[in-house]
Amino acid sequence: MNTPREKSLVVGVGSFAARRPLVVIAVWLALLVGALVAAERFGLRFADALEVPGSESQRAASALERHFPSRGSSASIVLVGRGAALTPDDARVKEFLEAVVHVPHVTQVSPLMPSADGRAWLGQLAFDRPGLELKSSADALAALAAHADPSLEVAFGGEVISVNQAPDPGRAELIGLAAALLVMVLAFRSVVAAVLPLVTAMIASGIGIVIVGLIGRSLEVSSAAPMLASMLGLGVGIDYSLFFVTRLREELARGHALPEAIEEAVAHSGPTVLFAGLSVVVALAGLTLTGISLLMALGLAAALVVLLSALAAVTLLPAFARLTGRWLGRNAAENDGAVFARLSRQVARRPALFAVGAVAVLLLVATPALQLRLGFPDDSAQPEGSMARRAYELVATHFGPGVNGAIVLVVEDDARTDLATRVSELASRDVAVAAVTPPIPAPDGLASLVLVTPRAAPQEAEVSELVHRLRSSLVPSLRSSGAQRVSVGGVMAMTMDVSELIEAKLPLVISGVLAATFLLLMMVFRSVLVPLKAVLMNLLSVGAAYGVLVVVFQWGVGRRLVGLDHALPIASLLPLILFALLFGLSMDYEVFLLSRVREEHERGLGTGESVAQALAKTGRVVTSAAAIMVAVFTAFALGPDPMIKMFGVGLASAILLDATIIRLVLVPATMVLLGEANWWFPRRLARWLPAVRVE
């Protein structure tokens, strides 16, 4: 962003990094060490509690908290006899349960419920702390299960186990780093030039992840935040660093001494990097319109890591470059971009044909998004062989699939009538209900709890329909009879409420992000049509990413390639976060390519030739940057967390489509079709809107 003051600031940063590299590096390392010390001293905290203010599921959750204070975190326990049937009086069962009671933070073990064949028994454990604070308890339960009597099969499942026994995601990060390093070595033909962006990105993302965890001590930050932050930190950090290293090698090739080359590289690439980071933050700010605290916290975590990555690219990386400049090498000859120039000229000969073809392909890929179904992956999506997955399977086999997703009815009745019994009786009459528990009275006598077991598995549409029927018919009829409050809650009900809220807020978030993006691009390009096209193209790439997600996760096409053995709904929080991230990330390539197009046009070249020359000079960088991001995001799609898999697939597919079909075909075609109209900008608007120069 090159107003005179801003440009002098950016040049000053580059000059200082070139003259005092050890000071800059020491500051960043001190920040990293300080963050790690703070993490060790205070601890990191994450929470996955969803809240939907004003929803019925939130009322049910609040009622449970008021009347059943001991119902905090929970885990299920399943015992299956290998051969003969079990009884609660079995010595093996008694001995095992006695050991479970003494596990730290276990406050209660509910009476065991037998399966129809008597071979399995199911119970619930209650804890006195949130699930994410019970790692030691989960480990102790896993050890008990591993050393149980050989004639028993024991498994623990539910929230406490799934969040604390997840496989180590480190393999995905290593694969992503290795793939990114390979791409950069091929692009730069220099190991040092390839390693520096990796080191820079790792330091920035490491600091960001720790800060996110510390923020979690005050705000509810999802346990998925560290993986998301790591994925974004590596992806955008390497991406931003690539712009600087490419420009630095250009300046060195022109004969500049290393300090001057660093200053020039920061002066030219710095504004682009900072603008790109700001664009992501602005897009993520749209998540505040949802009112969902967990979603806003995820957006805050992502924005923080992106900003740190941008700052590291214009401060820490130049300092590293000053110490290693002799091994950075030089950019290849300019004719390396000839293939991109030829492609652009081919598109310019038949712009309408290429534009229509590109739009048709993107719309075709986006079409499955019309069948997008939101939900939350349950323990059936855990890795095969994990204890949480095994508990889910044992429960479904011996007790029915619906037991894994019970619906909670909370009856608050000051008059202490038989209302809760009537609730239980009416709910049991629904054809989609497998079982209903008798009312469970609260300790204060002012409420009762009724658990409804559906016949279908939690992710089936029949369960959502059952929740709607309970709310639309059973609950209103009871309220009309004088009940103070009857609320339908539980995990599935909360999931539905979150999904419906997101669907309601999606137009508001989209319109807010579109407006902000449009204004930012108008400030940069002093044009109306260029930003308008960019916004529409970004919508196409986001829609295509949604379509890919539906095909892979909902339809199950190629699901085994990402480590899944059955189809899943799309995580409710994902579409909004993905939309904001992709709109921000796509600005990198938009600004990088079109600013060069404008530069060539201002030199007097026609539109078609301006695009050809711009692609010749930027095509390799854009392609390399996109390849790095795709490699990193794809690697994370191979990790254990289903939600991170969805982020990885969605981000990788959108970046791939954006850097190929959109940047190499659709942008050149539409630029040629519009010609000089690309740069039309009303005079009144030019006087009112501030100008921002990005190179």
- Residue listed under structure tokens 């349950």: 378
For the cut 50, the answer to whether the pLDDT of residue 492 exceeds it is yes
Tell me, yes or no, whether 471 lies in a domain: yes
Inter-residue contact 612 to 348 (CB < 8 Å)? yes
Tell me, yes or no, whether 395 lies in a domain: no
Confidence of residue 70 (pLDDT cuts 50, 70, 90): low
pLDDT tens, position by position, 405-423: 888 888 887 545 677 888 8
Assess whether 9 and 108 both reside in one domain: no
Inter-residue contact 287 to 222 (CB < 8 Å)? no
- Kindly state the tokens that stand for 41: 């001293």
pLDDT score of 491: 81
Inter-residue contact 127 to 150 (CB < 8 Å)? no
Q: State the CB neighbour count (10 A cutoff) for residue 677.
A: 12
Residue 548's identity, in one-letter code, is V
Bridge-partner residues for 411, per DSSP? Answer: 448, 486
Assess whether 285 and 228 both reside in one domain: yes
In the DSSP assignment, the letter for residue 331 is P
pLDDT tens, position by position, 500-534: 888 888 888 888 888 888 888 888 888 899 889 98
pLDDT tens, position by position, 629-674: 888 888 888 877 788 889 889 999 999 998 889 988 998 899 889 8
Which one, of 586, 585, 578, lies nearest residue 553 by Cα? 578
pLDDT tens, position by position, 587-637: 777 777 888 888 888 888 888 888 888 888 778 778 888 888 888 888 888
pLDDT score of 58: 86
Inter-residue contact 391 to 155 (CB < 8 Å)? yes
Tell me, yes or no, whether 339 lies in a domain: yes
Instruction: Map 9-42 to HEC letters.
Output: HHHHHHHHHHHCHHHHHHHHHHHHHHHHHHHHHH
Inter-residue contact 457 to 399 (CB < 8 Å)? no
Inter-residue contact 216 to 45 (CB < 8 Å)? yes
Assess whether 206 and 106 both reside in one domain: no
For the chain, what is the mean pLDDT?
82
Assess whether 326 and 339 both reside in one domain: no
pLDDT score of 333: 46
Inter-residue contact 372 to 575 (CB < 8 Å)? yes
pLDDT score of 461: 81
Assess whether 415 and 564 both reside in one domain: no
CA dist 351 → 347, 540, 596, 622, 667 (Å): 5, 18, 20, 21, 10
Inter-residue contact 681 to 532 (CB < 8 Å)? no
CATH of the domain at 557: 1.20.1640.10
Q: How much is the average pLDDT of 31-56?
A: 80
In the DSSP assignment, the letter for residue 525 is H
Confidence of residue 25 (pLDDT cuts 50, 70, 90): very high
pLDDT score of 6: 45
Domain-ending residue, one of 489, 518, 551: 489
- Please indicate whether residue 542 or residue 413 has the higher confidence score (pLDDT): 542
Assess whether 130 and 254 both reside in one domain: no
Assess whether 360 and 321 both reside in one domain: no
Number of domains composing the chain? 4
- Residue listed under structure tokens 């950090």: 237
Domain that includes residue 214, residue range: 1-43+190-331
Tell me, yes or no, whether 632 lies in a domain: yes
- Kindly state the tokens that stand for 395: 């429960």
pLDDT tens, position by position, 177-186: 788 888 888 8
Assess whether 107 and 199 both reside in one domain: no
570-571 and 374-375 strand pairing: parallel
Tell me, yes or no, whether 615 lies in a domain: yes
pLDDT tens, position by position, 369-401: 999 888 877 788 777 778 888 888 888 888 888
Residue 551 CA to its chain's centroid (Å): 18
Assess whether 513 and 602 both reside in one domain: yes
Residues contacting residue 13 through CB under 8 Å, at least 6 positions apart: 266, 270, 314, 315, 318
pLDDT score of 295: 78
Inter-residue contact 51 to 219 (CB < 8 Å)? no
What b-and-e string marks burial along 60-83, b requiring 16 or more CB atoms within 10 Å of the CB?
bbebbeebbeebbbebbbbbbbee
- Please indicate whether residue 95 or residue 479 has the higher confidence score (pLDDT): 95
Residue 56 CA to its chain's centroid (Å): 26
Assess whether 517 and 646 both reside in one domain: yes
Assess whether 526 and 642 both reside in one domain: yes
Assess whether 546 and 584 both reside in one domain: yes
pLDDT tens, position by position, 234-280: 888 888 888 888 888 888 888 888 888 888 888 888 888 888 888 88
pLDDT score of 481: 53
Tell me, yes or no, whether 451 lies in a domain: yes
User: Percent of the chain having pLDDT more than 90?
Assistant: 11
Distance CA 67, CA 50 (A): 19
pLDDT tens, position by position, 199-247: 888 899 889 888 888 887 777 777 777 877 888 888 888 888 888 888 8
